[in-house]
Structure 1
Amino acid sequence: MSETRMSNMDLNIIPLHRQAASNRSSLPGLHIANPSRKTSRSRRSDHLILLASFNVPAFSDDRLAELLTRLEGMYYEKTGSTTSAMRELIEDLNNLILNLNLKHAGSRPQVMGGIGVIVVRSGHLFLAQTGPGHLFALLPGKVDYIHDEKMSGRGLGISRTPQIFYAQMLLEPGNRILFSTSLPETWDADTFTQAYTNPLNKAQQRFLEDAGEELKGIYIEVAEGPGNVNLIKPESMQEQTKVTKPEPAPQTTPPMMPEEEKAEPEPQPEPERQATPPAPRHTQSPGRASLPPLEMEDQSAVQTLDLDDDARMFEPISELTRGEETHTPGKSRQSAVGKISSGWQNAWKGLRSFGQGFLRRLQGLMKRMVPGDELIKIPTSYMAFIAVAVPLLVVTVAALVYAQVGRNQQYDAYFSQAETMASAAAAETDANIQRTAWQNTITLVEKAQEYLITDEAEALRKQAVSALDAMDNITRLELQPAISGSLVNSVRIRQMVATSRDVYMLDIHSDSVMRAWLAGTRYEMDSDFHCGAGQYGSIIVQDLIDIALLPENPDEAVLVAMDRAGNLLYCYEDKLPVAISLTPPDSYWGKPIGITVENDQLYVLDEQLNMVWFYEATDTSYQFREAPFFFFTEEVPNMTDTIDFAIDKEQLYMLYLNGQTTTCTYTGLEEAPTTCTSPTLYNDSRPGRQSGPTVRDAVFYQLLHTQRPEPSLYYLDPKDQSIYQFSLKLNLVQQYRPDMDLEGEFITAFTVSPTKTIFLALENEVYLAYLP
């Protein structure tokens, strides 16, 4: 498309924002930009529109505006196709949100977001969307609804590779475009008709009036003009509309309401919902600029996240994903209303005519059956009911039959594709292609199961899951509830440790540690166990950050907890806790994030001060009262974004937010200083996998070291509900996953007992399984 197309069209954009059933004049998260002189050559024709939203108030309005401005600058610096630039922009924002989630896990609610990236270039509109989003193209005589149901609930901050939905369309003066993050149930055909046929201010009012409680979106008018993108503010709506609104073309008709139907409107079905398949995944290219870190504002609620980000539809990939210049949009998409509504209207007319004819025949029959004028005594309302009820009954039966036949056909289509894909996967020798084929098999089966649940579909799904488990060295764990009864809903478990008969859980909501003891096959909560924040003599303990088991000792303390101020709390099974204050380092405390007890020593990692300290026990009671020692000598690795650590003898393992691990070896000798490897490579020998500083598709959050007879390192991937077992040399041994659906939630904590019982916590729900 030539450059002159956009130069002949303006985009007039009006925000749509309704919150708590009240209209808002501003729309936080909306950002509009035009190319500047400093724009890269590839982006000089791109007009950018961003609409971002989050499930909790992750950023203040000013901070969000600053973030979107940074994203604008990064977009206009990118080279390559429009599609790749939009994808990279979403990946940049996703990495920021995901890192914030991991960094603040346990202390703040998890953030899930969505963003719609709209680029107008050379007369085309390009959309890249992750998270909830609905695009409507209001065109003469029809409305195209462009949406992917599988994107609902997905978005930013869930995984390293966000699932992105792509679409594009050709623009013409007179078109209207609506993009919103939700689809109000109260919108109907009349909403769109009135919006299309009225000026922007009236269209805005109609969308907001029909939206119900909440709405966040934008309404775009494509008008004749010099090629500007204009944000229309509500207070200047009338003036702007007079200037920018084009004269309607004589042949233009309102959407969804063909001319011959205007005089007698009939019931309209919901628009047909169609979607462009998501584009294939791409790996992040090296050397790309990354967003500088931002801090979250206070948040008020925790939301459940949908974590299944790897599901992909096996359908023909749009040419848009290969390069937008060669794609011809619109031909494969059907009008969401034009075809279906006219068909149902014609059917309704026919059925109504049938009902009226049936009524006349019924009256004739009754005249023959009922003597004299008795027919007159039958109320007219009964006769009218019969005239309406008969066609309604026929419509209902016809719709049910059509729906069932349609569901069978949809099931057969998807299941047939799934069988073909499974056969191809079984015959494939390339591990990466085979893995993708099995993943697509599962996706297709799940699509088929949306229409019908059959034994053959479930058997095929299990076959594909088993094949992937074998390739990825996954052992399925038979989970069972660990605790008799249930914990209160407010419990938020973030750390766990276990002995052969007890499990201890740090609840950040109550700022205390809970104990459960083994009673038969289940664990019972110990209501007499006390270990939490409070005042102990002159010491105030609050904001516990971590817990660690203590070896057997004369005082019978079972564990020690530490708060952010460097206070230790010794906890006992049958008596009240005892608190002491650690001797702080010379630099005092910055931001300690964790503790562990190994080698009769207490180790503390302080991320802010870039230090690991260790305290030696002064006696067999493990009282750490002396000044600490610095773990490092000459070489000190960067500990920014460290989220967990573990100790095995002289070996230190530090886990970072980006999934990498740094290892350091302590000697204590001046002639042989502490040495570090950063990052240390994970050795991954699975088919189609490669060793490297990260594990592909994994997002690690916690690290656990277990003792002999099988010393190991266990890494928690909360989003995939996976536990990775590595040797102390970081050789991948096994991956463990539940054999049951945990409803897509994060695993918030885990531990492994000396008897190889693994415990998993999902906030206030605790499960156990036995490792092989």
Structure 2
Amino acid sequence: MPVLNSTFFSGSSVSFDTFKTMANKLDILILPIFRQAGQLAPDVPGLHAAKPPRRADRRRASEHLILYLVLQGNAPLSADAYQQLLRGLTSVYYKTPGSVTAAMTNVTDALNKYLRDRNFRGSSRGLRSVGAFTQVVLREDTVYISQSGHSHLFIVAAGQAEKYHDIELAGRGLGISRVPKARFHQEQLTEDDLLLITPEPPPIWSTAALKNLSRVPVKGRYSRLLHRVEDDVNAVLLNPQKGAGEVRVLRPKLGEEKPAPQSVEPPVEEQPVPQTRIASPLATLRGRLGKSKTPDAVPSPSVQTDSPSPQQEEQPQQPSHTPASPSVRDKIRQLPIGKILLTFGRAVRSALRTIVAGLATLAKRTLPDEKMLNLPSWLLGLIAVSVPIMVVIFASVIYLERSGKIAFTNYYEQAQAQVEQAVSIEDEVAYSRALHAALENLEQAHKYKETEDSKALYKQIRDELDVLDRVVRLDYQPLFSHGLASDVVVTEMVVDTYGDLYLLNQTEGNVIKVANNNGYQVDKDFVCGPILEGYKRVGPLVDIVPLSPTRSDGATILGIDAMHTMILCGQNGDVPNDIFEDTSYTLPRGPVKAMALSEGSSENIYILDPREQLVLIEYQRENYRMGIEYFSEIDAPDLSDAIDLAANDGELYILHEDGHITKCVIPSPNTAPNCNSPLKFSDDRVGGVSESTMAWTGFTAMKYRAQLGLRLYLLDAEQQAVYSFTPQLKYQEQFRPVQEFTGIATAFTIEKREHIFLAIGNQIYVGRLE
């Protein structure tokens, strides 16, 4: 397509191109093209078209919106959830003021946050989905397009076809990084132009084959696009026509492969959608990982349309140019397991019919007595059913094994090439990026098999990246040969002065003591937990802190339940537990979320109450029976999403769900605290930036330690990593296991003798800091 005016804008997360050719008011006809496992469907999952609602923002009142979302991965959405998501995104668009690109960016941010949160929740089960997302907005004679992820756009005009797909500008997909990428186009098209959008075009859809598509009548384009395409297809064809600026969805009649015009769904009603903001540019080392080569499309619910009206079929026309047949590698990537089995089933069935017919003829001619083969009917039926099944299974296993070897070779060779390319790169950021891409390809290769060479290359790349990222690999060892009870979930760990370990079991709300006596062993005589009978009661504990060894009552830990009732537990089982509650507070209290012991000399305890926006201080000099509110009713920061806290005398750190940290300091006695929220992370690694959150992390817990130098430690549960920062949040290093364990880390602690304890599942692992 000839470009008369081209402008390019580049940032860390947004780029866009501008093309200009005409000015007429147009309708947009949408032709869905979808085939899965050899079956055609009238709708494309994830396609959604809408008119502006009555209460749309003034700038949105004349704009029609088309959303096209394809989820790639193993975490599909249900039909109801899919439609609710798309309607919610539509509401976000029409409520956003400002330019079209600003509204599109807001929609992209909202979808990215939804998918990223969903991926984090499913990470423990190995579930993840990545969004390939395309937005199309029609305003009078202009079409605005936004691409994120694996979105391929073909523009067919004036006998030419241009393809737009740039993974560097559009990003690897939504749901991966905190700041999504998007590529924007602004098009003014004639009624003869076409826009073809797909996450994965069939190999036969080359620009040479598509350049004459606009000459094919509307009724024949469906057949033309599916002609000689054997693989699954997920695509949308947009065709502008003279009209009143409306959007119409065509539904092909599957028996005859012909489209029928159909009106767009009624205007969407406004729905309550979380407020979103346009994300600021963010570029990090992990945000620049290599391209994902083989995304798996996940089927999704279809767009809602009205009843179709029939049209006559037109015979498909032969394309003017047929591209070369796809390679064996491409076919293996695109063929789903279901289609492989179907193909083998058909071949085996045909072969079996021929063999059985031949054997029957041979038996009639050679056997002297047909009664000798007079087998029971049930046995003949069993043979007829079991033999084809066994043959299909045997053939499928052989084929899958061969295809797995080919896939392994493909990924492994790509990794080798990327390593060779990285050696010649002088720029540190590009060098790191190339190594990350190679590591991802090796991880994909190891899903099929591992060889000594591939494992050696993986270790070589990982060691080099560890140097760049300042990663220290710890040789974690399990404390127990068989783990704790299967239902134990450890959500907090503390170590006392004697090196004994105390584990908070979320399942029962009790504390498990692990004594350090020439090896770690569970102390079955230790009891500390819910007491639901008697005059003094305490519920299931939600957090624990260690106490000073100089206490006269022998108590070693203090626990607290959700209702602010506390319990002192002694080191020996014969010391009675002391249950009490501080009733001196004047403000109403809500459920306790977390508790922290100050690392300074005061040894005060800080209690987090997000619902009532409170942080309470319990004084050590009052034996934790009297305290004060840290914030007054008017100077408290937003604590509604706070999940953990740490303290060092006058300094208080609060961790929030999205990973940002609030730091508060009381400058002098009897003065209100000064808070900095968010306190920015300082990352001086290759490609690192200073932002309020650290990309590619999901912090869930926090500890402050003074014995190893003033350090703030944050746990990334999914990556089983402990990050180390200065009190000013300057990145120092991170600790990861040599070999990752199955599951996510639920708790951690750091012992004065320089050990890190990590809780994963019902096992505790210990690693020594060098």
TM over 0.5: same fold?
yes
Aligned to 1:259: none
Deviations 1:40-70 (A, max 9, x none): 569934234789999999x999998995674
**Unmatched 5+ residue regions in structure 2?**
2-21, 34-45, 151-171, 183-196, 202-209, 224-229, 260-276, 297-321
Deviation at 1:89, TM superposition (A): 3.5
Deviation at 1:649, TM superposition (A): 3.1
Aligned to 1:668: 668
* C-alpha spacing 1:564/1:728, structure 2 compared with 1 (3 Å): same
The aligned runs of 1:500-539 (5 Å cut-off) are 500-521=498-519, 523-535=520-532, 538-539=535-536
The aligned runs of 1:660-699 (5 Å cut-off) are 660-669=660-669, 674-699=673-698
* C-alpha spacing 1:757/1:445, structure 2 compared with 1 (3 Å): same
The match for 2:425 among 416, 424, 428 is: 428
Which residue identity is paired with 1:47?
I
Which residue identity is paired with 2:51?
N
The match for 1:614 among 614, 617, 634 is: 617
Which residue identity is paired with 2:63?
R
Deviation at 1:419, TM superposition (A): 0.5
Q: What is the Cα-based RMSD across aligned positions, in Å? A: 6.1
Deviation at 1:580, TM superposition (A): 0.7
Aligned to 1:582: 582
Which residue identity is paired with 2:199?
A
Q: Specify the SS of the correspondent of 2:644.
A: strand
Structure 2 CA distance for aligned equivalents of residues 246 and 56 of structure 1: 24
1:46 corresponds to 2:65: yes
1:756 corresponds to 2:754: yes
* C-alpha spacing 1:56/1:609, structure 2 compared with 1 (3 Å): farther
The aligned runs of 1:390-401 (5 Å cut-off) are none
1:633–1:673 contact (8 Å) kept in structure 2: no
Structure 2 CA distance for aligned equivalents of residues 588 and 719 of structure 1: 35
Deviation at 1:510, TM superposition (A): 1.0
Deviations 1:259-302 (A, max 9, x none): xxxxxxxxxxxxxxxxxxxxxxxxx95469xxxxxxxxxxxxxx
1:359–1:383 contact (8 Å) kept in structure 2: no
* C-alpha spacing 1:611/1:412, structure 2 compared with 1 (3 Å): closer
Structure 1 CA distance for aligned equivalents of residues 248 and 507 of structure 2: 47
1:79 corresponds to 2:100: yes
1:127–1:167 contact (8 Å) kept in structure 2: no
Deviations 1:412-439 (A, max 9, x none): 3322211010112233232322222112
Structure 2 CA distance for aligned equivalents of residues 475 and 351 of structure 1: 59
Deviation at 1:563, TM superposition (A): 2.2
Structure 2 CA distance for aligned equivalents of residues 492 and 650 of structure 1: 33
Q: Specify the SS of the correspondent of 1:589.
A: coil
* C-alpha spacing 1:89/1:498, structure 2 compared with 1 (3 Å): same
Aligned to 1:567: 565
The aligned runs of 1:142-181 (5 Å cut-off) are 160=178, 167=199
Aligned to 1:728: 727
* C-alpha spacing 1:157/1:421, structure 2 compared with 1 (3 Å): closer
The aligned runs of 1:440-455 (5 Å cut-off) are 440-455=437-452
Aligned to 1:203: none
Aligned to 1:765: 763
1:411–1:451 contact (8 Å) kept in structure 2: yes
TM-score, scaled relative to structure 2: 0.62
The match for 1:88 among 87, 93, 109 is: 109
Deviation at 1:714, TM superposition (A): 0.8
Structure 2 CA distance for aligned equivalents of residues 568 and 384 of structure 1: 71
Deviations 1:4-51 (A, max 9, x none): 9994757899xxxxxxxxxxxxxxx99874344748569934234789
* C-alpha spacing 1:702/1:74, structure 2 compared with 1 (3 Å): farther
Which residue identity is paired with 2:718?
K
405-414 vs 508-517, which deviates more?
405-414
Structure 2 CA distance for aligned equivalents of residues 63 and 351 of structure 1: 48
Structure 1 CA distance for aligned equivalents of residues 382 and 613 of structure 2: 81
1:484–1:524 contact (8 Å) kept in structure 2: no
Which residue identity is paired with 1:90?
L
* C-alpha spacing 1:560/1:410, structure 2 compared with 1 (3 Å): closer
* C-alpha spacing 1:444/1:546, structure 2 compared with 1 (3 Å): same
2:720–2:737 contact (8 Å) kept in structure 1: yes
The aligned runs of 1:203-222 (5 Å cut-off) are none
Structure 2 CA distance for aligned equivalents of residues 61 and 386 of structure 1: 45
Aligned to 1:201: none
Structure 2 CA distance for aligned equivalents of residues 174 and 3 of structure 1: 27
Deviation at 1:516, TM superposition (A): 1.4
Aligned to 1:713: 712
Which residue identity is paired with 1:428?
I
Deviation at 1:737, TM superposition (A): 0.8
The aligned runs of 1:213-362 (5 Å cut-off) are 285-286=278-279, 313-315=291-293, 351=351, 355=355
Structure 2 CA distance for aligned equivalents of residues 74 and 721 of structure 1: 40
Q: Specify the SS of the correspondent of 1:437.
A: helix
Q: Specify the SS of the correspondent of 2:689.
A: coil
Deviations 1:189-224 (A, max 9, x none): xxx9xxx9xxxxxxxxxxxxxxxxxxxxxx99x9x9
Structure 2 CA distance for aligned equivalents of residues 387 and 359 of structure 1: 14
Q: Specify the SS of the correspondent of 2:699.
A: coil
The count of aligned residue pairs is 611
* C-alpha spacing 1:316/1:626, structure 2 compared with 1 (3 Å): closer
Deviation at 1:497, TM superposition (A): 0.9
Which residue identity is paired with 1:88?
D
Structure 2 CA distance for aligned equivalents of residues 479 and 559 of structure 1: 26
Q: Specify the SS of the correspondent of 1:411.
A: helix
* C-alpha spacing 1:666/1:480, structure 2 compared with 1 (3 Å): same
Which residue identity is paired with 1:542?
G
User: Equivalent pairs: percent with the same residue?
Assistant: 23
Deviation at 1:513, TM superposition (A): 1.7
* C-alpha spacing 1:497/1:452, structure 2 compared with 1 (3 Å): closer
Aligned to 1:738: 737
Which residue identity is paired with 1:557?
A
Deviations 1:727-753 (A, max 9, x none): 33433222011122322x321111111
1:33–1:72 contact (8 Å) kept in structure 2: no
Q: Specify the SS of the correspondent of 1:80.
A: helix
